[in-house]
């Protein structure tokens, strides 16, 4: 092929229109008729045309017909090359085929491009003596192939009715060994040859089309039959995607189904253990648009369409050229999913492709719904089985005939059963007999009344062992209220479990778990040393509160306050050690350690402050006094154990680490803070918090300084605007303060106050700087000594 595009004709004489050229040809028709007679005599054209008609009509298929015709064109017109293009009305392209061994190569160009496109659109023949001087010629094809096109003869292929079905094009006539221009007689001859072959070519093309359609329909039915026989959803989705890709000669396809529970479109890619589920909101993107509107979208050039999101291509390296997306609609005309096909080979997707994809998805919709239903049922079954197997309680189910159908792992363990046949398949009346016959009596009662029954702290006997248990008997019914059988649940509450349950009411559940574990219980009851983060909290102005509320009101107030605070501590895995009046002492990492106990303690403390504020809002609405408290955290080695006398023991913690946490809680008042942590806790934090370094201090009773930090994450924009700017200025001020540069320190603290005038700690530091500036200590090291606890 030597022709595939057109060039700009700006600045050159305007060509005649196709209508004008046809008029010129009509004027020349008498001349051409006379010339045809001359050519007939010269070439023996009558015999040639008869031979063309005979050979084309006997061609086995369109490829053979095209090959015969191009061969005859080259021979009869002494051309170096020839091509016969037929029009594809669906893609609006001219196509030609050439055989390369056993492979068939198809060439396609737009039917309005280049010399061939011009001839097809105008219906007028052209003879070009010098191709490179004609604007319609596309020389890039020569540049790609290395072939040199000199002369071109191109005529339309028209039926008897005058309908143009293609174009015949011959290149470079050679007479002897020399290239010569095509003559008008050549043009007449080529027109005569194509006219003679037109009907046969059209019939052959139509026959090929019908055979192709018939084969496609048979293939379509086979595909639908094969696909709809699959009930495994993952396999079905992969099979549908594979067949859709092959059916439309595309590179990729994806079938999304709608998940009504999550309002997401999902698909499964891969097979077996490698299956990956893809999910996206069912209203976003092109797939979401197709799902919500129920209308197909055909995008021939994705990157030229604003609806296309190229992000997925960037992530995967795949290049999406064209896309066809159609809704999957069931028999009730409900959209249940979307099929998306990408990159048709050989050009964009056609209207016929869209119709085929719609027909395909309509046929498989029933299979998809069945597979989805089967998948949902299977998931529910797996969920139910997993739930039963993971339960610590025994679960036994019976059918409507009283036979035991299932028994979970806990049931085998609690009821001392070794083999499945010892329980499954047996009548419940045979299994629950003897001393356990009361269970069967209650199964019968529940079956008759269809009302569940519970028996607390009942006694069952399995083998030689007696089991204390809570037994629940429930009726099983279908959605249509039909009896299905019964369920028996047995919760083992033997002495160990009862003791553990009782102990958990009086101490932390984690401590109770370790106490009940047996082997290590004496170690930590007798005393053990471990790293823990200790939390102290204390209510501010508690004396005033008690005077206001009185005895009963104070008790009620503390119960409400402690309930809120303890929930914050236990939610993060902390252990409540004790209440000391209105104070709380708790630990993180005792007796059960975690790798992030410091973060757990900080998160719990922050929540204690924010939850207290929520409670204060309610108290304000009720006209009650607001509550404030301070919290101190320190991480250190502490000693824990059962401490006391033989008559009264208390599991608690002692040590310097506990004392420092108490000192930090008390220091909250001096630093106008709500949450202070030591350098030990700060160094071990894994999370990111809004924290500022507030002092290097020697607390009461200690000689070594400790760096203290304030956690500010409980603040809002209203309580501390531009918080991080304030933190940065405060850090700058602390740097000058430690260096003894009092004036610079004061200026930086004032910058903090500009940001947050309510920051009382900055005011405190300004007063401290003024005091130190007046005293001008010679041995200043940045450490402040606390005078009180």
List, for residues 76-135, the tens digit of each pLDDT value. Answer: 888 888 888 888 887 788 888 764 445 567 778 888 888 989 999 998 999 999 988 988
8 Å CB contact between 585 and 578? yes
8 Å CB contact between 405 and 370? no
Tokens describing residue 301: 């050039």
Q: Is the pLDDT of residue 33 over 50?
A: no
List, for residues 143-169, the tens digit of each pLDDT value. Answer: 877 888 898 999 998 877 788 888 998
- Residue 714: helix, strand or coil by DSSP? coil
What is the enclosing helix (H) or strand (E) of 645?
strand 629-645
For residue 520, what pLDDT is reported? 46
Confidence of residue 361 (pLDDT cuts 50, 70, 90): confident
Tokens describing residue 132: 């490179």
Phi and psi (nearest 5°) for 148? Answer: -110, 110
Residue 575 CA to residue 590 CA, distance in Å, equals 7
For residue 612, what pLDDT is reported? 95
Residue 125 CA neighbour count, 13 Å, CB half: 28
Higher-pLDDT residue of 142 and 445 is: 445
For residue 243, what pLDDT is reported? 74
Phi and psi (nearest 5°) for 172? Answer: 55, 80
- Which residue has 């009086």 as its token pair? 506
Highest average pLDDT, of 97-111, 364-378, 737-751, comes from 737-751
What global pTM score does this model have? 0.42
Per-chain mean pLDDT for the chain: 81
H helix intervals, 299-350: 311-316
| Mean pLDDT on 480-489 | 87
For residue 477, what pLDDT is reported? 87
């Amino acid at each position: 092929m030597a022709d595939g595009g057109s060039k700009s004709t700006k600045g050159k004489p305007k060509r005649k229109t196709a209508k004008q050229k046809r008029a010129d040809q009509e004027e020349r028709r008498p001349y051409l008729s006379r010339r045809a007679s001359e050519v007939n005599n010269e070439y023996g054209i009558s015999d040639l045309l008869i031979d063309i008609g005979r050979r084309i009509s006997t061609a086995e298929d369109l490829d053979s017909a095209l090959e015969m015709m191009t061969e005859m064109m080259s021979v009869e017109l002494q051309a170096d090359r020839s091509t016969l293009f037929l029009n594809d009305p669906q893609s609006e392209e001219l196509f030609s085929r050439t055989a390369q061994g056993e492979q068939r190569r198809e060439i396609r160009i737009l039917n309005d491009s280049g010399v061939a496109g011009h001839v097809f659109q105008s219906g007028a023949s052209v003879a070009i003596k010098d191709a490179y001087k004609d604007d319609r010629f596309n020389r890039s094809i020569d540049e790609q192939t290395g072939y040199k096109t000199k002369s071109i003869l191109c005529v339309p292929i028209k039926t008897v009715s005058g309908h143009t079905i293609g174009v015949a094009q011959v290149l470079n006539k050679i007479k002897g060994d020399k290239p010569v221009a095509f003559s008008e007689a050549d043009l007449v001859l080529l027109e005569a040859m194509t006219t003679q072959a037109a009907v046969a070519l059209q019939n052959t093309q139509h026959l090929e089309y019908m055979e192709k359609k018939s084969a496609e329909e048979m293939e379509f039915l086979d595909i639908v039959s094969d696909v709809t026989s699959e009930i495994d959803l993952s396999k079905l989705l992969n099979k549908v995607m594979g067949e859709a890709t092959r059916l439309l000669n595309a590179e990729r396809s994806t079938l999304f189904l709608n998940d009504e529970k999550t309002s997401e479109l999902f698909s499964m890619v891969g097979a077996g253990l490698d299956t990956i589920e893809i999910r996206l909101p069912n209203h976003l993107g092109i797939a979401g648009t197709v799902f919500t509107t129920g209308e197909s979208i055909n995008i021939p050039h994705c990157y030229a369409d604003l609806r296309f999101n190229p992000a997925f291509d960037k992530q995967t390296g795949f290049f999406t050229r064209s896309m066809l997306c159609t809704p999957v609609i069931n028999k009730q005309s409900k959209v249940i999913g979307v099929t998306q096909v990408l990159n048709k080979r050989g050009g964009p997707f056609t209207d016929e492709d869209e119709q085929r994809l719609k027909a395909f998805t309509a046929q498989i919709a029933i299979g998809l719904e069945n597979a989805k239903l089967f998948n949902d049922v299977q998931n529910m079954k797996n969920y139910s089985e997993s739930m039963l197997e993971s339960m610590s309680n025994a679960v036994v189910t019976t059918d409507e005939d009283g036979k035991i159908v299932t028994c979970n792992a806990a049931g085998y363990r609690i009821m001392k059963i070794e083999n499945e046949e010892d329980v499954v398949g047996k009548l419940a009346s045979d299994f629950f007999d003897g001393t356990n016959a009361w269970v069967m009596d209650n199964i019968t009662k529940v079956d008759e009344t269809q009302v569940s029954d519970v028996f607390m702290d009942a006694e069952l006997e399995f083998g030689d062992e007696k089991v204390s248990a809570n037994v629940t008997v429930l009726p099983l019914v279908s959605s249509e209220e039909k009896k299905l059988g019964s369920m028996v649940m047995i919760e083992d509450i033997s002495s160990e479990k009862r003791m553990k349950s009782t102990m958990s009411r009086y101490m932390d559940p984690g401590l109770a778990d370790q106490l009940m574990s047996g082997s290590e219980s004496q170690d930590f009851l007798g005393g053990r040393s471990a790293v823990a983060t200790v939390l102290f909290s204390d209510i501010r102005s508690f004396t005033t509160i008690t005077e206001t509320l009185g005895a009963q009101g104070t008790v009620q107030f503390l119960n409400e306050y402690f309930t809120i605070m303890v929930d914050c501590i236990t939610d993060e895995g902390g252990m409540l050690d004790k209440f000391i009046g209105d104070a709380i002492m708790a630990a993180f990492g005792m007796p059960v350690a975690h790798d992030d106990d410091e973060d757990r303690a900080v998160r719990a403390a922050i929540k204690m402050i924010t939850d207290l504020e929520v409670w204060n809002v309610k108290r304000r609405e009720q006209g009650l006094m607001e509550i404030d408290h301070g919290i101190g955290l320190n991480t250190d080695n502490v000693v824990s154990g059962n401490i006391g006398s033989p008559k009264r023991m208390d599991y608690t913690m002692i040590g310097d680490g506990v004392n420092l946490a108490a000192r930090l809680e008390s220091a909250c008042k001096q630093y106008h803070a709500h949450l202070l942590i030591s350098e030990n806790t700060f160094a071990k934090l894994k999370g990111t918090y809004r924290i500022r370094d507030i002092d290097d201090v020697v607390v009461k009773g200690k000689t070594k300084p400790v760096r203290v930090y304030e956690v500010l994450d409980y603040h809002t924009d209203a309580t501390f605007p531009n918080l991080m700017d304030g933190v940065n200025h405060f850090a700058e001020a602390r740097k000058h303060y430690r260096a003894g540069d009092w004036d610079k320190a004061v200026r930086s603290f004032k910058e903090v106050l500009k940001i947050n005038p309510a920051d009382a700690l900055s005011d405190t530091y300004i007063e401290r700087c003024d005091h130190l500036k007046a005293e001008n200590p010679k041995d200043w090291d940045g450490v402040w000594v606390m005078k009180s606890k």
